[in-house]
A and B are shown apart, each in its own frame.
Chain A
Amino acid sequence: MEASELLQLVIAGLKNGSIYALLALGFTIVYAATNVINFAQGEFYMLGGMLAVFAFSGLNVPLVAAVALAVVTVAGIGALFERLAIRPRKDADPMALIIITVGGSLVFASVARHLFGSDALPLPEFTPGPSFVFAGAAIERQTIWIWVIVTATVIGLTLLYNRTRLGRAMRACMENREAARLMGIDTARVVMVSFALAAALGALAGVAVTPLTSTRFDIGAGIAVKGFAAAILGGLGSPLAAVAGGLLLGLIEQAVIPFSSVLKDVVALAVLLLVLFVRPQGLFRRTRKEKV
């Protein structure tokens, strides 16, 4: 294989991986706050793309505003989902809650089908134009946007977690919810904010990728598996590890393509199983030593 082909695969891996990273962040943030795997996470991705298309093509809103509107609306849907479907059963065991999220994802997909139809819907690129060529490999402009979004997200989350009162409260809940309550932190509110944030990140990923792939009511489940695998790879702990898990999964997928392109979609599941069998704490998590 030539160097430029290899580079092209790496670029594709980092592009897909960035999307997985945003999804994995959503899984990780909700898991940290609730110990629940939110399988509706993929639907937030779908809804992000759908609502952006609807706002742009249906309401003739400018693209930037359509993107913002979609992300904000989906964040609201995420908060509402928590309030109406999760909180009333918050004392149930995590398995019941996980089933609720699976049910929620079916509802979201079917409502989207009724509202927006079953066709694939396109969105223009954020900044249309020819691809950049770098060392013989092409980089689509939208790919640059995806990388910008992921980078901005990581910086934003880092600032949120380390510099703000809300972020500190979220970390405290991740560490020890009971102790967080003893500090005066309203943990129910933190859970709701976590769902909203996870939904917004999912929507952002969906919006960013729709110009490349278009969107449809039924794409949520497939991407949820990828995002979940990436989150597990990252260990469901630190947000940075989730991003690393996403990028790594994207690269692994591309590494398989030269041998068999049909195997690409199996990779996420294989990685998921392998990690769960061999290293259930994820690749990056150290087992923390604590003194008593």
Chain B
Amino acid sequence: MLEIDAVFAGYGRVPVLHGVSLRAAPGEMVTLVGANGAGKSTLLKVAAGVLAPQSGRVLLAGEDVTRVPSHRRVGTGIVLVPEGRMLFAGMSVAENLTLGAYLRTGAAARRAVESDRERVFDLFPVLADRLEQPAGTLSGGEQQMLAIGRALMADPKVLLLDEPSLGLAPKVIGEIFSVLDRLRGSGLTMVLVEQDARLALKHADRGYVMRTGEVVLEGSSAELLANDDVRLIYLGAWHGTE
């Protein structure tokens, strides 16, 4: 579904990604793990069109979308839940959701948008209770739920999630990941960037381990969870059995 092919990218003259490739098959949940500054978020930005790569390609269902700017990339079906949520804090929950479906106009889309809204409320019932509340007044967990809900309103083919667990209590993280499991069950393709590698690999089908702008390891979640290097470096196994 999503294919990233030998991408080189960076900010200004600072290179961050050195030929990174990644693929996510339809319905697959893929995770990117690695230390801070490994280039995980940068890769998502390239996928979402926020950052143009110096070279390499981004393909969606075989179609080259590398040069499609971010505000049109949404229309192709690649939708990013950005790090830090980036909600419209002064606007209501309802308006945030409506903006998520900004590009879906016309009479035909209206019914689909309405049913997607119901689906978001089904996934995150708390949002239905907070409709008129400004997004900035929600709790951190609710904000993350709204950020995911808003992205779902765009009817994504591929959902990119950047650190959805950041700064949240374990109980809330559990709620959010159980929703991600449901989305995966419904056949949505997802790419998840997570600091907490154990959490991410527990929920994803496959994983990529990144270090200083390169993919150093890839495999099924089970393989990676069992890999000694991964255990030692990214799962903090030295605290347990050594």
Count of chain B residues with a beta carbon within 8 Å of a chain A beta carbon: 32
| A residues less than 8 Å from B80 (CB atoms) | 182
Q: Pick the residue among B75, B98, B140 that contacts A292 (CB under 8 A).
A: B140
**Alpha-carbon gap, A290 to B80, bound state (A):** 22
| A residues less than 8 Å from B89 (CB atoms) | 175-176, 288, 290
Q: Is B136 an interface residue (CB 8 A)?
A: yes
Contact A182 B88 (CB under 8 A): no
Contact A184 B86 (CB under 8 A): no
Contact B86 A179 (CB under 8 A): yes
> How distant is B241 from chain A, measured CB to nearest CB, in Å?
35
Given contacts A168-B98, A181-B70, A184-B71, contact A291 B82 (CB under 8 A): no
> How distant is B165 from chain A, measured CB to nearest CB, in Å?
14
Q: Is A172 an interface residue (CB 8 A)?
A: yes
**Alpha-carbon gap, A175 to B91, bound state (A):** 8
Q: What's the count of A-B pairs with C-beta under 8 Å?
A: 76
**Alpha-carbon gap, A186 to B69, bound state (A):** 10
| A residues less than 8 Å from B143 (CB atoms) | 291
Decide if the interface of chain A is mainly helix, strand, loop or mixed.
helix
Q: Pick the residue among A184, A289, A292 that contacts B102 (CB under 8 A).
A: A184
Q: Is B167 an interface residue (CB 8 A)?
A: yes
What 1/0 mask marks residues of chain B from 76 to 91 whose CB sits below 8 Å from any chain A CB?
0001101000111111
Q: Pick the residue among A179, A184, A288, A289 that contacts B154 (CB under 8 A).
A: A184
Q: Is B202 an interface residue (CB 8 A)?
A: no
**Alpha-carbon gap, A178 to B139, bound state (A):** 22
Q: Is A84 an interface residue (CB 8 A)?
A: no
Which residues of chain B from 78 to 116 have any CB-CB distance to chain A below 8 Å in the complex?
79-80, 82, 86-91, 95, 98-100, 102-103, 105
Q: Is B137 an interface residue (CB 8 A)?
A: yes
A-side residues, CB < 8 A to B, are 165, 168-169, 171-172, 175-176, 178-187, 288-292
